[in-house]
Amino acid sequence: MSDFKVIFPAFYNVDDVLNDNLDVNIIFPDGGVFFIAVFTISNLEMLMKNSGGIYFWSSDMVVVRDLNKETIKEAISQIIRDGYYESAFCKIGTIETVYSKVKSYEDIESEV
């Protein structure tokens, strides 16, 4: 399962690739659509500081060294290769249920 496509549901809008976070949808050829939230270490530190520093949590969180598109793609690939995607990613539906105007995997253009 090394083939996948990536969509940024809230668009790829990053001011600082070392200090930000993004929502990411991962689409597989079988039609499954999964979600992760990617964070950088600096962003986690900032979020903790701004919230009082006691803790921070996010469901479906993956921490990456930076938010360059290639880094995100490499991280997703590694998680899949390591066999952790079913634990690290949250299945949110299928292409048909998540993207009402898209009918097949081939119709989706990856954003990475």
64 bridge partner residues: 40
pLDDT of residue 2: 72
Does residue 90 fall inside a structural domain?
yes
pLDDT of residue 81: 97
In this prediction, residue 1 has a pLDDT band, given cuts at 50, 70 and 90, of low
Q: What is the pLDDT of residues 52-106, one digit of tens each?
A: 888 888 999 999 999 999 999 999 999 999 999 999 999 999 999 999 888 899 9
Q: What is the pLDDT of residues 73-84, one digit of tens each?
A: 999 999 999 999
Does residue 112 fall inside a structural domain?
no
Q: How many domains does the chain have?
A: 1
**Distances in whole angstroms, Cα of residue 21 to Cα of each of 49, 86, 89, 97, 99:** 16, 21, 16, 25, 23
Whether the pLDDT of residue 41 is over 80: the answer is: yes
Domain encompassing residue 86: 5-101
Does residue 109 fall inside a structural domain?
no
60 phi-psi bin (left φ>0, alpha ψ -120 to 50, beta other)? left
What's the CA gap between 42 and 47, in Å, rounded? 9
What's the CA gap between 93 and 13, in Å, rounded? 24
**Pick from 109, 94, 43: which is nearest to 62 by CA?**
43
